[in-house]
Structure 1
Amino acid sequence: MAATKASAIFPLLLLPPLLHLLSSGLAAAGPEVCPSFSCGKLPDVKYPFRRKDDPPMCGNTTYQLSCDANRSTLRIGSADYFVTQIPNIPSDYFWIRLVDPNFAGGSCGLPAQPLSPANWSTAGLFCGSYYWASFMSCNETIQNDARYLLLSCLSRKDTFVYVIVAPEADELVYLHPGCEYLSMIPVAGDAFVMPPSSAVDAFSILQKGFYCNIPARPPHWKSTIIRRCLKKATSMFSDLITSKRLLSIVSSVVRSEHHFVGCVADDLYGTYIHRISIAVTVLILIVELLIVLLILGRFVIAPITLCVFLAHELWVSRASVDTVEKFLRAQQTLTPTRYAYTDIVAITRHFRQKLGQGGFGSVFKGELAGGLLVAVKLLGNSKCNGDEFISEVATIGRIHHVNVVRLVGYCAEGSKRALVYEYMPNGSLDRYIFSSNLTRARTFTSEKLIDIAMGVARGIHYLHRGCDMQILHFDIKPHNILLDRNFTPKISDFGLAKLYPKGNSLVSVSAARGTVGYIAPGALESYRTNPMSIALGCC
């Protein structure tokens, strides 16, 4: 266990010497490669300022100066300001004087960008003052306030632009109604002798610029920062260790390293030192992770792998059994199944959802154990003496055709009789071709109606020629043509159907069968001439 703890602490012990060497190299190389320079009229400019072509280790890119023969420029935010004074005073912080380019030539205008007390810290510079110049737009002239100096060059017909040079508190208290702030800029305290009496005086004050505070650090400040951050990380590690457990040690190491990277980022964010510290810390974290995995692998990863393997094997075996079970259930549904009346009640969930009502009884929606949706026809007409029920089961029970509805099962328990069909979600054909709803009536195009008619014809042809016995439906009408989810037609309701041997071209009947209006003309003619016969060519 002692060896394990030593291995966990080793990466943290490796971090200080690596970065200490780096910081020492920076301290040794800094003063020699980063001499002072002149920029415009400013002599002996030192760190943290730099020029564009200086070596990467010299100065801070935030304070990069643009130099020409007469002036030096420093970019703050989105504007370039003229640097007029950099005092050479050894201190952690010092002030520099900047001049807004829009006021350098004495021209009339607004500040290049607002520098208000709310955002006085910009791009690493802290620009503020007790005195501020505020520019505001008013919708009427200010008559009785001498502090409001009208800027005629910026005013328009209904808009009047004023400037006030005064302490910040006064500006906020005496803001007139109808006025709103446009921009704000600090004013150098030594330039404000007395309140200006005209816009010319105000701009002469603004031409003298304002002061910004810049942290001044020695050339070896980067190594100092690294040493300070290493010391803080080590101290934090000592404070975090509350037990001698491995997880506590590893957690303390990780948190200490994360604190080190954050400490470096506070002063060196975006520099190559910051990137190197992140890279070294990531490598150490990888080593720590490997150590933890090696120690815990035997007690965690191996058991989890074994459990996953066993669970996978169990899932594969159960999937195989489920596949066989689904196949057997599918085979059972190929032939009509006899159900008890209690099964019918369970399938329809106590006859909860009613689909339709007819002279034969009611139709309810149901669901079998395997999830197959069905339509249950509950026969309630006692006058039929079971003839239609027997005819339905005897005929449709032996039929398997895409255009004939399939009988899934039936129930015959005393006077309770029911037929279980496959569920047709789109109902019967008459709902569409005889509907008063124009949207539903326009569902079918002429091509779709022809497809439905051809499907019905294929179903009738199968009944007449495709079975061992000829099946005569005797009641083909839109009400008995059901549509599945793809609007494929299926012939249903075989209560009036009759079975006859093949080869019979003439069948004797005792009375006309079917629905008036849908009996085939050939059958009517045959019935008129010979009431005891009907042509098989008709349905």
Structure 2
Amino acid sequence: MMFEFEMRGMRVFHILTSVLTICCFFLITLPQSRCQTHDAVCNEQPYKCGTLSNISYPFWGQNRSRQCGFSDQFELTCHDDDTTTSIRIGSQNFTVKELNTSAETMRLVRKDLADDVCSPQFGDTYDVNSSTVFRYSSSVYNMTIFYNCSSSVDTPTGFGNLTCGDEKGLFSNGAQDEVLKRFAWLERCGRHVRVPIDAPYDDKGGRQFLQQAFGSGFPVNYTLHTSLTSAGVPPSQIILLVFGAVLGGLMTCIVIYCCSCKCMSSTLKFWSSRKNDREIEAFLKNYGALAHQRYKFSEIKKMTNSFKDKLGEGGFGAVYKGELLSGCPVAVKILNASKGNGEDFINEVASISRTSHINVVTLLGFCCEGHKKALIYEFMHNGSLEKFIYNKGLEATPSLSWDNLWEIALGIARGLEYLHRGCNTRILHFDIKPHNILLDEDFCPKISDFGLAKLCSRKESIVSMPDARGTIGYVAPEVWNRNFGGVSHKSDVYSYGMMLLEMVGGRKNINAEANHTSEIYFPHWVYSRLEQGGDLRPDKVIATEENEIARRMTIVGLWCVQTFPRDRPTISRVIDMLEDNMNSLEMPPKPVLSSPTRSVPESTTSSLQFE
């Protein structure tokens, strides 16, 4: 294996050598006529775009070709009304109000905010500092606007009031995270928007201040590395020179690497493995997981009869049926050795070792021998819930009655309520789906697979999460895009709601068989059938009392999958709604998200995969 590794390095070395040779040849033989043509085209008088005039390098657009500008980032769009000029930075379009190429500054305006500060459509302003050439001026301040706040809250010092129709809003200096640390109750407001302004708010002006600030815009600086261009070297040659220098450096590094990779790789692998093992052992002691039975891997192998009976497979490993010496049947999950440094093992043990609830699967023991890791759970005779939902053509799988489905839905909700409120430490699951709901011999549901779980304080309403996690089709909008809101226990509520709709509809919420023209966002389909009084399970005859259960589960599910976390109920409220009389349930708003993209296949793993 190491020999193959070294050979790959040598192949890369030869490829880079060839590429560098071609680039150097192209650079040397670049026709002078091309350079002269570039100068003839671009050395023109400054041009006009919209209301802006005296525009020159590095900007381009309108009648100026791409070769006359510094990069794609400096393209200006001159609109047909001849009064507006816009530029796209990152993911957002800005109106260019002023432009000074001598000072390398421009003033940008978010026209949607300037036109209507109460618009429900916009989200956070794209962070200009995230680009490679643009930077906010030192005079720019962050402003955070909080919409849909309770009308009963007092306005703190340093905040301004904003009235949008019948709804109250507040705004203040500072980024969203900074403001929420000082005033945590603002999280109850419906929506937060961060925007840059040119001057701080000083308790005066209210909405008039916002309109004036957004209308005047904010200054942005840009910086160009112009030493070569000022010396008369065209941009095309600059790129080749830089590319050649980078390739030369890479070649040197690869030569050194090929000579030492074998020794270095072995050493790093050894110490990395030892470090991970020490960290996991320290974790097991700190979390008291040693109270569970610890097994050797040889015992795991014997317990599963050399992994003879495979029950299923998820993103973090395969599950096998086993039997303890006492004769008690168990489910043994063998974790994938390729999954990082054991983070999934730590997540699962840390979370589930804190639990004891009838609707949460019980951990009976574990194995940890280097990269060999296993978890031993109580055996669930009826397997996962998904086979009872999507059982088309599976005659061996019995259909569940509507009473069964309602009891299962209620049990899962009670298990989630326990995770969210019943432990000293709140546990967010982040992967609620039918595959991770196991059923015992009495069809009592139990939540399993805590590989993506996150522990947080019960007082912590919003959790910090560096990356998205979950399974396509069940992931709450805010998990992959913070513009929808903060990640919290409401994210589990969304996943639960999508699962509830699948239980009612008897199909997956992402239909792999749907073509582009007939594809429908699943909650829209459910909502339309409910609104029109159609059968929620066209493939089954539903009695009147069963139809009431189906409609109740559907309404609760639609409340749970509301786009914004603030509009979803807590899991405790979900339990109340499931147990309420049908007449006491209000119809939720229609879901507003569009259909999921067809380029994203359904994930069969426990980790989020946008492929």
Tell me the TM-score normalized by structure 2: 0.32
Larger-gyration structure (1/2): 1
Tell me the TM-score normalized by structure 1: 0.36
